[in-house]
Structure 1
Amino acid sequence: MTASPAPAIVKLQSVELARAVAAIAVVLYHAARHLDKNVGFPLGKQAFQFGHAGVDFFFVISGFIILHVHGGDLGRPRRLGHYAARRFTRIYPIYWVILGLTVAAAFWSGRIAAPTAAQVGWAATLLPTRAEPLVGVAWTLQHEIIFYAVFAVLILHRGAGLALLGVWLAAIAVALAGQPVGLMPVFVSAYNLEFFLGMGAAWWVRQDPVAFSRDILWVGLTLITALAAAEVAGWFDGYAPSTRWSYGLASALIVVGLVGRERGGHFRSAAAMAWLGRASYSIYLFHLTFIGLADKLWDRIGLGEWVWARYAILVVAGIGGGIVVSRLVEYPLMRLVRRLFRYLSR
């Protein structure tokens, strides 16, 4: 891992495509589970079981993007402020919006105990906790914050950061071997391995050009398709810690192949996919909210038990609602906070 700048890419359309696919997979998964729980949708639940691997894809993409964008900042402490500001404004402002809505809904509905001020305050930090997150999908963001913190050490001091990465990887390996390490599970979860795979992919594509990129892409696509089919068929447990290696490796190969093809001028993504990629974070944060609202509206209107049509509406609502939030709230809010940061740093 070196601190030399990566070869320039005008736009990582290929990575935006990957983020869009990951977001869609998660929506397909959660919409099917929601519908199965409410009215019974066992065939759909089984068919879209693989969609949880979208989270694996997201973690790999995150590891890739952080090293790809900030690889030139390694060992340069003066760049830490820029790195921290970019990560903070990317993650927290829109997350606080869904957190606020979640807390307000808890108070308004009265069906569940409203969280305490201490619980809300801790949830706002996204720091690791043993408690269930107030925002259901926020468990993945706790992994992200840990990774960002470790990467910050790399920026402060490359040697110390590499040593910390080594210790972290060793602790994960020990925990996966069934030995106690004295850390909360989030620190030593197998999901964290996918950040390493993503960084490995970023290091790989820094070699210009990426040899055999088309073959690498096809291997990754074939592997993830085979894994998804095997999970749907019930041949293996897609939630097992060991599965993180397989889904993560397939995701990393796809990212390397896509970026390699883009570097070679052999890739063009549809504008709609780039749109979805940019909106992927809001889709991820808000899709459960919009799925729930669409399902209630379906019942309120009384459209009947056309379960597959109902499922399609839930998927469209989860994706479409996230796009609307992204365009009207996420990016305007992020730009506002970044302008505020620049003003305060003068």
Structure 2
Amino acid sequence: MTETAVSPAPQPTAAAPAGPRDTPAVPSRSRASGGRLRALDGLRLVAALMVAAYHYGGRGGDVTTAWGSSPKDQFPTLHEYFAYGCLGVQIFFVISGFVICMSGWGRPLRSFFASRASRLLPAYWAAVLLVTAAFALPVVVYDAVSPSDALVNLTMLQQPLGVDRVLGVCWTLWVEIRFYALFALFVVMPGASRQRVILFCALWILAAAIAEGANEPLLDLVLMPEYAPFFVGGVGLYLVHRDRKDAYAWGIVGVSWLIGQHYAVQDLWHAPSADAFSHRTSFGIILIVTLGFAAVAAIALGLLDWANWRRLTVAGALTYPFYLVHEHLGWVVIHALHRGLGVGSAGTFALTIAAMLLLAWLLNRYVEETLTPKIRAALSRVR
């Protein structure tokens, strides 16, 4: 979710001397645009827009206050489709598995940590401060978290500490952080190689299945059975990107898809009910999960190299700050436009998306571009 789609030339590491199968030459397609997989940038924004559609029109709860009535009333037909937008998170996790494996290959642990921290923190800190300040305004109908909880939120550890969240979407960052830690510990630190990555994928899937069967909270916390298949599937697809004939990589992708769709259906399907906001069918859930895997696979295989527009790079840059701010600040904008100014539902939806994209651009331009290189340099400095 949070990494740019740049494909570095893989290198064998001193810790893991590699044979030909370990470091196959990255196909020339990955260098078609200076090493950037622009289609992956575009897919990330698509996933973020799916999540935004869910938060604005695909669920009940706090967004009802913004609209003045349930989104079911605002979008009598579309709300059923918007409800599937939450699956954008699973697509994000597949993309993250692909990109973290790509960016972590051949990189020392210090550099990997510096890259992750400098990429995540600037926009996140700005989003926490913006949402806290906005919710503290008397005209905003939502309550701000306490000052103490807001400060804890700056650490990104509010979830395990049981602190109120400033950003509703930050639970996914806690999932991402645990994935980064596992990947750093078992792949980056010893040195990435094809065999080590395959072993990591196999052991994580097996351990996650054991954790599910054991019903042990600590194992669930560390191994994340419901999300592991999506990250592992993305890692497998990066191996496919390196060598499309790698049977082990395709096996990892296939098993991950089979298990991932199971968890998606288990978590998001419910029986039809007049009292429910909407009904997600098992077919619809499986279809979207499959399309997410297929889209990343198409990028891995070079089938979307024609999508090489520079604007997709901008889309990738906007995705993370947009994802952070769109939910809560979007509700503030919806309330102001729809209930304050009387703008229609469709117009409010479109203008809110546009406003959040503009805010994301400002955060990228004036926060990320300023702080990211400084944080990366400070954390990368050898003492």
Place the TM-score, normalised by the shorter chain, in its bin: 0.7 to 0.9
Residues 341 and 171 of structure 1: CA distance in aligned 2, closer, same or farther (over 3 Å): closer
Q: For the Cα contact (< 8 Å) 2:238–2:300, is it kept in 1?
A: no
Q: Which residue of 2 aligns with 1:141?
A: 173
Does structure 2 conserve the Cα–Cα contact (< 8 Å) formed by 1:14 and 1:259?
no
- Name the structure 2 match of 1:152: 184
Aligned to 2:321: 282
Structure 2: 5+ residue runs without aligned partners?
A: 1-17, 248-252, 271-277
How many angstroms does 1:157 deviate by? 2.2
Residue 253 in 1 paired to residue 294 in 2?
A: yes
Change (3 A) 1:36 1:334: same
Deviation at 1:113, TM superposition (A): 6.5
Q: In the TM superposition, what is the alpha-carbon distance from 1:152 to its structure 2 partner?
A: 1.0
**1:330 alignment partner in structure 2:** 368
Give the conservation status (yes or no) of the 8 Å contact 1:65–1:202. Answer: yes
Q: Secondary structure at the match of 1:183?
A: helix
Instruction: Please give the alpha-carbon distance, in whole angstroms, between the structure 2 residues aligned to 1:280 and 1:49.
Output: 20
Could you state the TM-score of these two structures normalised by the residue count of structure 2?
A: 0.70
How far is the alpha carbon of 1:196 from its aligned partner? Answer: 0.4
Residue in structure 2 matched with residue 173 of structure 1 by the alignment: 209
Q: Distance in 1 between matches of 2:233 and 2:190?
A: 22
Find the counterpart in structure 2 of residue 115 from structure 1: 146
Q: Which structure has the highest helix share of the two?
A: 1
User: Could you tell me how far 1:164 is from its partner in structure 2?
Assistant: 6.5
| Structure 1 position 167, deviation (Å) | 5.2
Deviation of 1:307 (Å): 1.8
Show the counterpart of 2:70: 40
Deviates more, 1:158-167 or 1:201-210: 158-167
Paired with 2:136 and 2:355, the residues of 1 have a C-alpha distance of: 24
Deviation at 1:206, TM superposition (A): 0.5
**Aligned match of 1:16:** 41
Question: What code does the residue aligned with 2:352 have?
Answer: L
- Residue by residue over 1:236-255, the C-alpha shift from the partner in whole angstroms, topping out at 9 and shown as x without a partner, is 397xxxx6x87555423211
Structure 1 length as normaliser, TM-score? 0.76
Q: CA deviation at 1:329?
A: 2.0
How far did residue 295 of structure 1 move? 1.6
One-letter code of the match for 2:325?
A: F
- The alpha-carbon deviation at position 284 of structure 1 amounts to 0.4
CA RMSD of aligned residues (A): 3.7
CA distance in 1 between counterparts of 2:324 and 2:293 reads 23
Please tell me whether the aligned partners of residues 38 and 308 of structure 2 are also in contact (alpha carbons under 8 angstroms): yes
1:284-318 Cα deviation digits (max 9, x unpaired): 011124412322331575225x2222222222223
- Deviation, structure 1 residue 195: 0.6
- Shifted more, 36-45 versus 200-209: the winner is 36-45
Question: Aligned equivalents of 1:274 and 1:113: distance in 2?
Answer: 34
Gaps of 5+ in 1: 74-78
Q: Distance in 1 between matches of 2:144 and 2:347?
A: 34
Higher mean C-alpha deviation, range 194-203 or range 4-13: 4-13
Report the identity percentage.
24
From the superposition, tell whether residues 17 and 282 of structure 1 become closer, same or farther in structure 2 (CA, over 3 Å): same
Match for 1:292 among 327, 331, 346? Answer: 331
Opposite residue 218 of structure 2, the aligned amino acid is L
Cα distance change, pair 322–170 in 1 and its aligned pair in 2 (3 A): same
User: Equivalent of 1:97, from 126, 131, 135?
Assistant: 126
- Aligned match for 2:84, one of 37, 50, 53: 50
Residues in 2 aligned to 1:163 and 1:11: alpha-carbon distance in whole angstroms? 27
CA gap of 1:72–1:250, structure 2 versus 1, over 3 A, is farther
> In the TM superposition, what is the alpha-carbon distance from 1:48 to its structure 2 partner?
1.2
Deviation of the 1:274 alpha carbon? 2.7
Given the superposition, is the C-alpha separation of residues 145 and 333 from structure 1 closer, same or farther in structure 2, using an over 3 Å criterion? same
- Look up the SS of the partner of 2:375 in the other structure: helix
Aligned to 1:183: 218
Bigger mean CA deviation after superposition, 150-159 or 136-145: 150-159
